Amino acid sequence: MTALPQASTRPGWLTLPTVAAVVLGLAIIRLFAAAHVGLSFDEGYYTFWSERLATGYLDHPPAVAAMIAAGRWLVGDNELGVRLVAVLSGVVLSGLLYRLGALVANARVAALAVIWYNLTPVAGLSFITTPDPPSVLFWTATLWAVAEFMASRRPWWWLLAGALAGLGLFSKYTDAFLAPGLALLLLSSPGRRAWLKLWQVWAGAVLALLVFLPVIEWNAARHWASFTFQGSRTVTDGIARDFLANLGDLFAGQALYMAPILAGFAVVGIVLFLRRPRAADRQGLALPVLTALPALAYFLFHTLHGQVAANWLIPLWPALTLVAAWTVLRLEQFRPRLAHAAVVLQIVLGVALTGFVYVQALYEPFALGDLDRTNETRGWPQLEASFLALAKANGAHWIATSGNYGVTGQVAAYALFAHSPLPVRQVDEPLRWDFLPPFDPDAAGWPALFVSVDPAPGQPLVPSRWFGATRLVGSFTRESRNGPLESWSAFIVSAPTPELYAGFRR
């Protein structure tokens, strides 16, 4: 592999000690936020998963559940326990990114990329534990292992790359796009095509499938439920009328997640590489660019028939940050003042955007209404305490919910944090709760506390579909510092209907 030319000089702040100080300092800040910001809806759901570890779930592969379970084992049943491993994985990711950058470019590019990436909103929010932290970690780790091979020509690195790619698939199905990316890398030049003669390349692919095999087996036993659920998003009936709006959302989402300077330089770097991929000063970019192209091409195609969520591209961004760092430092050779201004402006924008989210999540100084996504993290301990007191006062043996997996996850997670002995079960969407043990038919008949968000203020969701006897026993409001967020109602219920048993039946 031809590395990009080393810079003759570099500023004092683009050194490994500075990079390490930035990474560790930001990790401490993220740990503080992790411990003091309430769980998001998805985090509550995945925390529910972590109580019953399995080799598959309807929505995603199981790595996120294992991460949460490990953190809870280390520091307890609380917000920090849910998020600890995600924060630590960000530190590991930064180390991998630095080494990857040093291998495919030079230490200066690597240092700038790590600093830039860590100061983006997407990295700042990486303490929120979803399938994204393990997905991006193992995607980047796979590229690092391949880069080690490209630098040393020791073929055993392909076995590690295969295992890491399998763990990426074990994290999120998006990582499947890395396989065609690696194939494109191997096939796109005569020198790299020669690597296909190495048995370790093929063994690495087999190893990736073996690591992913438990998830395949889980799906096969359930009529391919998870693959079908996620794969349905790829189905199209033609070009949507609003595909231009979808395309705009894609670019806006990436610019917001990464801050626009970085995103812009990444795009320019990709174009520069594709124009002259064999130029001596660009050959090192083949790994980060070519492995990203299949995913980028698909998500551009996806805008023709649907929206692309901003987080879907997260696995690509650490490596693409290397491309952006290389591009801006190349600009420095011709327009040093412009390049320096871009470097500083990206850092300022990243800090400002991330800092705003942190301050709003922690202290809520602004009343933003429905625009405030941090609202879903607020008020859960107080609401849960009200539910548990009401359940105890009315002799409820379990807590029932309906219709919203995020709400169910939050109720279950904060019941866990409160050390409640009452099981939480959603009375519908049975396939989503396949990881739970079958519900005892006798237990279903015991009195339960049914809790739900009111569809409209003062209009509770009456659970008569699932229970023949219902009695409204309480009304509550989940609140933030800036006022009420939503109204809830609680019923004491019994006498299950056949529909309830049908929902619980495997």
What phi, psi does 175 have (nearest 5°)? -65, -10
Residue 503: per-residue pLDDT: 67
* Domain boundaries defined on the chain: 16-226+237-243+254-363, 378-504
CB 490, CB 389: distance < 8 Å: no
Tokens 């130029």 sit on residue: 279
Asked if residues 91 and 24 have their Cβ atoms less than 8 Å apart, the reply is yes
Strand-strand pairing, 448-453 and 398-401: parallel
> 489's torsion region: left (phi>0), alpha (psi -120 to 50) or beta?
beta
Query: In sequence order, what DSSP letters do the residues of 391-453 get, joined into one string?
Result: HHHTT-SEEEE-S-HHHHHHHHHHHHHTT--S-EEESS-GGGGTTSPPPPHHHHTS-EEEEEE
Over residues 96-110, the mean pLDDT reads: 96
Q: Would you place residue 5 in the very low, low, confident or very high pLDDT band (cuts 50, 70, 90)?
A: very low
The predicted-structure confidence for 207-243, as pLDDT tens digits, reads as follows 999 999 999 999 999 999 999 988 877 766 667 777 8
Task: Say which residues have a Cβ less than 8 Å from residue 369's Cβ, sequence separation at least 6.
Answer: none
DSSP 3-state of 491: strand
DSSP state of 156: T
3-state secondary structure at position 70: helix
Q: What's the whole-number average pLDDT of the chain?
A: 92
Provide the pLDDT for residue 403. 82
pLDDT of res. 458: 79
Q: Pick the residue with more confidence: 457 or 288?
A: 288
Q: State pLDDT tens for residues 421-452.
A: 999 999 988 888 988 888 777 777 789 999 99
Share of the chain above pLDDT 90, in %: 77
- The DSSP string of 242-272 is THHHHHHHHHHHHHHHH-HHHHHHHHHHHHH
What is the chain's alpha carbon radius of gyration, rounded to the nearest angstrom?
25
Scored b (16 or more CB within 10 A) or e, 15-46 reads eeeebeebbeebbeebbebbbebbbbbbbbbb
Could you tell me if 319 and 143 are in contact, meaning their C-beta atoms sit under 8 angstroms apart? yes
Q: In what order do the strands lie in the sheet with 467-480?
A: 424-426, 398-401, 448-453, 483-496, 467-480
Positive or negative torsion for Cα 246, 252, 255, 259: negative
Q: What pLDDT shows up at residue 92?
A: 98
Does residue 468 register a pLDDT over 70? yes
How many angstroms separate the Cα of 501 from the Cα of each of 41, 400, 451? 26, 13, 18
Report DSSP state, residue 238: S
pLDDT of residue 6: 47
d(Cα 352, Cα 358) in Å, to the nearest integer?
Answer: 10
Structural tokens at position 380: 């859960």
Nearest in space to 158 (alpha carbons), one of 211, 204, 103: 204
| Residue-wise pLDDT tens digits, 143-201 | 999 999 999 999 999 999 999 999 999 999 999 999 999 999 999 999 999 999 999 99
Spatial neighbors of 393 by CB under 8 A, at least 6 apart, are none
Tokens 């969520």 sit on residue: 309
Sign of CA dihedral 79, 80, 86, 87: positive
Distance of CA 443 to the CA centre of its chain: 36
Question: Containing H/E element for 478?
Answer: strand 467-480
- Residue 496, sorted as left (phi over 0), alpha (psi -120 to 50) or beta, turns out to be beta
Tell me the C-alpha distance between 424 and 389, whole Å: 15
3 state DSSP class of 31: helix
User: Which three-class secondary structure state does DSSP give residue 77?
Assistant: coil
Distance, in Å, from the CA atom of 255 to the CA atom of 140, rounded to the nearest integer, reads: 20
Give the amino acid at 100: L
- Residues 325-351: tens digit of each pLDDT: 999 999 998 899 999 999 999 999 999
Q: Would you tell me how many other CB atoms lie within 10 Å of the CB of residue 421?
A: 8
* Residue 472, number of CB atoms within 10 A of its CB: 12
pLDDT band at 244 (very low <50, low <70, confident <90, very high): confident
Share of the chain above pLDDT 70, in %: 96
Query: Cα–Cα distance between 270 and 290 in angstroms, integer?
Result: 9
* Residue 135 binned pLDDT confidence (cut-offs 50, 70, 90): very high
The contacts of residue 216 (CB under 8 Å, 6+ apart) are 209
Q: Which residue has the higher pLDDT, 60 or 13?
A: 60
Phi, then psi, of 230 in degrees rounded to 5:
-75, -35
Q: What is the mean pLDDT of residues 73-97?
A: 98
* pLDDT computed for residue 281 by the predictor: 77
What pLDDT digit, counting tens, does each position of 19-62 carry?
A: 999 999 999 999 999 999 999 999 999 999 999 999 999 999 99
- What's this model's pTM, rounded to 2 decimal places? 0.94
Residue 71 to residues 33, 202, 416: CA-CA distances in angstroms?
A: 15, 35, 14
- At a CB cut-off of 8 Å and minimum separation 6, what does 170 contact? 61, 62, 63, 134, 138, 211, 212, 214, 215
